[in-house]
């Protein structure tokens, strides 16, 4: 928790997120139309999506399965009976005049997510519910100076709305929560988490209350404002910070907060009013007469529970226990399923999995990030990286030389052993050869020899000279031993 200092005292920010996650499914929630991103406008629209009279929705089993698996991944209660309601409102990109959603009886009830913060601590954020609903179409305002176009490709695509309790206390915590949620969704394969394409977006509810000290009870929750449709973690953080400051200023000037819906303007970094908050009764929710209540077979749910993959928290714990990784490294590697698989493939057969973790995080991803590349672009496969580490473990090359070999592998896609062989980079562990160099250095540098006898640190200078003479290929352990003996 981070308190914000106002003019009249300290304030706490209270945040709850409503996350819209597009369900990974080839077809829409109630029609067989395709869902692929980037298609020509209005080419993925069935008569149901266009709300032609007399068309009937038919539930897509795949979308239900994805929602249930997500609920299970969020440690949430699965409701074996849920109801689809009509949420009525007018909008040009909503041809039916209502959205099919779930209101009183959602498919998933209360759950929880463990959120990992940058300072190494973690906290639990409670989930209030997850429900299935249709996405709306898109109004396109920038294609013509006078007209607005409507693209219905997205109309009817399945969304999961995941609502958190107001448990988050800072922009950092909200960002970490969304990152964790995205990680879990990707592990489950229920949402691709692509925020630029709008597959994952959030409405952010923010209020503030006075809080004298951390650990002491605050005032009751304040009135909240809801900032709509944010599609990046950076914008979410900026919007929360700006909105909390705005509310604090109003309250400190003796004003009150009006509950309203606001928009975030990324170019100005501020939020502005969009409309006063609508209440549930404004939507005239009622059960959709075209759809029966959704009843799930408990055996089917249990089958899905048993089939869940290992999720990030469990994987991280296993990486610490089985490979001896630090909690931080384990969290970094476990955040993404393919990163985690890559690491395990590198570590397979290695004596020192901790070293493998270091190499994957610092050298491999460090270099990819620098080059602005993704794992798939890299010519260095897990197997090849593992082969390089094998050469370090067997003492054939030093860690220092390994970095040069890795550079070469990264450029040419070559094999570590072949590069070492071709370039003659093998580590020199032959005592005779190193002794020869040491003897010569001792003969040539009597002054340093005298110093080394009094100050053991000067011995380090000799190590450097041996390395220079061998182009970094001398085995440092052997060099140290010989120097100790001879000096
Ligand atoms: P609605 O659907 O009208 O937006 P909900 O009751 O579903 O209302 O709540 C939406 C979100 O607002 C939830 O994520 C909840 O945690 C959050 N929320 C509720 N009260 C507050 C508050 N006082 N401050 C911040 N967030 C809040
Ligand atoms: Mg809302």
Residues 390-441 have pLDDT tens digits of: 999 988 888 888 999 999 999 898 999 899 888 877 777 778 888 888 889 8
Query: What's the pLDDT tens digit per position in 258-269?
Result: 999 999 999 998
Nearest residue by C-alpha to atom 11 in ligand 1: 16
Nearest residue by C-alpha to atom 14 in ligand 1: 16
For residue 149, report the distance from its CA to the centre of ligand 2, in Å. 26
Please tell me whether residues 147 and 83 are part of one structural domain. yes
Please tell me whether residues 295 and 230 are part of one structural domain. yes
Nearest residue by C-alpha to atom 20 in ligand 1: 166
For residue 287, report the distance from its CA to the centre of ligand 1, in Å. 23
Please tell me whether residues 278 and 147 are part of one structural domain. yes
Region of poorest pLDDT, from 106-115, 144-153, 456-465: 456-465
Atom index in ligand 1 nearest the CA of residue 277 equals 3
Owning domain of residue 394: 310-423
Q: Which of 306, 305, 333 is nearest to 317 (CA)?
A: 333
Number of residues written out for the chain: 487
> Which percentage of the chain shows pLDDT scores above 90?
72
Q: Which of 200, 156, 195, 142 is nearest to 59 (CA)?
A: 156
Structural domains of the chain, count: 3
- Both tokens of 211, joined, read 């809080």
Please tell me whether residues 94 and 80 are part of one structural domain. yes
Whole-angstrom distance, CA of residue 462 vs CA of residue 444:
11
Burial of 355 (0-12, 13-18, 19+ CB in 10 A): middle
Three-state DSSP at 113 gives strand
Q: Check residue 1 and give its pLDDT.
A: 66
Whole-angstrom distance, CA of residue 244 vs CA of residue 318:
39
Please tell me whether residues 402 and 469 are part of one structural domain. no
| CA-to-CA dists, residue 291 to 81, 286, 287, 370, angstroms | 13, 12, 8, 52
Query: What is the residue whose two structure tokens read 């070492």?
Result: 420
143 or 472, which is more confident: 143
Please tell me whether residues 357 and 290 are part of one structural domain. no
Q: Check residue 65 and give its pLDDT.
A: 98
- Identify which of 12, 13, 18 to mutate to test ligand 1's pocket (most ligand atoms within 8 A of the CB): 18
Please tell me whether residues 113 and 53 are part of one structural domain. yes
Query: What is the residue whose two structure tokens read 């909105």?
Result: 243
pTM exceeds 0.85: yes
CATH code for the domain in which residue 472 is found: 1.10.10
Q: Check residue 484 and give its pLDDT.
A: 84
Three-state DSSP at 30 gives coil
Q: Which residues contact 88 (CB under 8 A, 6 or more apart)?
A: 97, 98, 283, 284, 285
Please tell me whether residues 84 and 233 are part of one structural domain. yes
Q: Check residue 364 and give its pLDDT.
A: 95
For residue 238, report the distance from its CA to the centre of ligand 1, in Å. 19
State yes or no: pLDDT of 104 exceeds 70: yes
With contact defined as beta carbons under 8 Å apart, do 129 and 106 qualify? Answer: yes
Whole-angstrom distance, CA of residue 55 vs CA of residue 173:
44
Please tell me whether residues 7 and 94 are part of one structural domain. yes
Q: Which of 66, 70, 105 is nearest to 85 (CA)?
A: 105
State yes or no: pLDDT of 305 exceeds 90: yes
Mean pLDDT of 70-98: 97
Q: What average pLDDT does the chain have?
A: 93
Please tell me whether residues 68 and 205 are part of one structural domain. yes
Residues having CB within 6 Å of any atom of ligand 1: 14-18, 163-166, 205-207, 221-222, 224, 226
Whole-angstrom distance, CA of residue 247 vs CA of residue 224:
9
Q: Which ligand is nearest to the CA of 208?
A: 1
Q: Check residue 191 and give its pLDDT.
A: 98
Whole-angstrom distance, CA of residue 131 vs CA of residue 229:
17
Burial of 110 (0-12, 13-18, 19+ CB in 10 A): middle
Q: Which of 291, 225, 250 is nearest to 85 (CA)?
A: 291
For residue 106, report the distance from its CA to the centre of ligand 2, in Å. 15
Which stretches does DSSP call E strand in 165-220?
A: 200-210
State the virtual CA torsion across 310, 313, 316, 318 in degrees, nearest 10: -60
- Final residue of a domain: which of 423, 448, 475? 423
Query: What's the pLDDT tens digit per position in 124-162?
Result: 999 999 999 999 999 999 999 999 999 999 999 999 999
Atom index in ligand 1 nearest the CA of residue 167 equals 16
Mean pLDDT of 83-102: 96
Nearest residue by C-alpha to atom 4 in ligand 1: 226
Query: What's the pLDDT tens digit per position in 315-353?
Result: 999 999 999 999 989 999 999 999 999 999 999 989 999
199 or 398, which is more confident: 199
Q: Which ligand is nearest to the CA of 19?
A: 1
Burial of 147 (0-12, 13-18, 19+ CB in 10 A): exposed
- Identify which of 99, 127, 164, 166 to mutate to test ligand 1's pocket (most ligand atoms within 8 A of the CB): 166
Which stretches does DSSP call E strand in 61-105?
A: 81-82, 85-88, 98-101
Please tell me whether residues 190 and 152 are part of one structural domain. yes
State yes or no: pLDDT of 193 exceeds 90: yes
- Final residue of a domain: which of 423, 440, 460? 423
- Both tokens of 322, joined, read 């089985």
The DSSP secondary-structure symbol of 51 reads T
Q: Which ligand is nearest to the CA of 101?
A: 1
Atom index in ligand 1 nearest the CA of residue 165 equals 16
CA angle 46, 48, 49 (to 5 degrees): 65
For residue 289, report the distance from its CA to the centre of ligand 2, in Å. 24
For residue 10, report the distance from its CA to the centre of ligand 1, in Å. 23
For residue 68, report the distance from its CA to the centre of ligand 2, in Å. 22
- Final residue of a domain: which of 304, 335, 353? 304
421 or 303, which is more confident: 303
Mean pLDDT of 97-116: 97
Atom index in ligand 1 nearest the CA of residue 166 equals 16
Please tell me whether residues 88 and 119 are part of one structural domain. yes
- Identify which of 12, 14, 15, 16 to mutate to test ligand 1's pocket (most ligand atoms within 8 A of the CB): 16
Query: What's the pLDDT tens digit per position in 29-65?
Result: 999 999 999 999 999 999 999 999 999 999 999 999 9
Whole-angstrom distance, CA of residue 404 vs CA of residue 425:
10
For residue 324, report the distance from its CA to the centre of ligand 1, in Å. 41
């Amino acid at each position: 928790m981070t308190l914000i200092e106002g003019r009249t005292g300290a304030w706490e920010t209270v945040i709850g997120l409503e996350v819209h996650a597009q369900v990974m499914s080839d077809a829409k929630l109630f029609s067989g139309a395709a869902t692929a991103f980037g298609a020509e406008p209005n080419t993925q629209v069935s008569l149901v999506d266009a709300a032609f009279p007399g068309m009937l929705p038919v539930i897509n089993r795949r979308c239900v399965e994805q929602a249930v698996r997500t609920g299970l991944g969020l440690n949430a209660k699965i409701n074996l009976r849920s109801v689809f309601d009509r949420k009525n409102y007018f909008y040009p990109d909503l041809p039916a005049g209502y959205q099919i959603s779930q209101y009183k009886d959602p498919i998933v009830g209360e759950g929880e997510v463990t959120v990992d913060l940058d300072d190494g601590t973690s906290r639990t954020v409670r989930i209030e519910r997850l429900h299935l609903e249709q996405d709306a179409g898109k109004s396109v305002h920038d294609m013509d100076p006078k007209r607005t176009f409507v693209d219905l490709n997205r109309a009817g695509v399945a969304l999961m709305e995941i609502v958190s309790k107001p448990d988050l206390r800072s922009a950092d915590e909200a960002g970490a929560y969304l990152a964790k949620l995205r990680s879990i969704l990707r592990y489950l394969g229920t949402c691709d988490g692509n925020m630029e394409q709008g597959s994952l977006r959030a409405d952010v509810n923010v209020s503030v209350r006075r809080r004298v000290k951390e650990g002491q009870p605050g005032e009751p929750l304040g009135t909240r404002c809801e900032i709509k449709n944010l599609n990046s973690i950076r914008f979410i953080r900026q919007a929360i910070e700006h909105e909390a400051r705005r509310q604090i200023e109003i309250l400190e000037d003796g004003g009150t907060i009006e509950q309203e819906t606001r928009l975030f303007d990324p170019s100005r970094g501020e939020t502005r009013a969009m409309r006063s908050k609508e209440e549930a009764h404004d939507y005239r929710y009622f059960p959709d007469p075209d759809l029966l209540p959704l009843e799930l077979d408990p055996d089917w749910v249990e089958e899905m529970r048993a089939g869940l993959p290992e999720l990030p928290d469990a994987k991280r714990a296993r990486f610490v226990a089985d490979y001896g990784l630090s909690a931080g490294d384990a969290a970094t590697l476990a955040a993404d399923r393919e990163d985690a698989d890559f690491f395990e493939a590198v570590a397979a057969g290695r004596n020192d999995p901790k070293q493998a973790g270091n190499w994957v995080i610092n050298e491999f991803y460090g270099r990819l990030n620098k080059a602005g590349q993704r794992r798939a672009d890299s010519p260095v496969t897990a197997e090849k990286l593992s082969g390089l580490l094998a050469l370090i473990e067997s003492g054939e090359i030093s860690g220092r030389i390994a970095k040069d070999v890795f550079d070469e592998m990264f450029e040419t896609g070559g094999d570590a052993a072949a590069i070492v062989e071709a370039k003659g980079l093998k580590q020199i562990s032959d005592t005779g050869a190193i002794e020869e160099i040491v003897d010569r250095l001792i003969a040539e540098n009597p002054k340093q020899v005298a110093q080394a006898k009094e100050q053991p640190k000067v011995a380090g200078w000799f190590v450097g000279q041996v390395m220079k003479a061998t182009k970094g290929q001398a085995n440092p352990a052997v060099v140290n031993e010989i120097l100790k003996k001879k000096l």
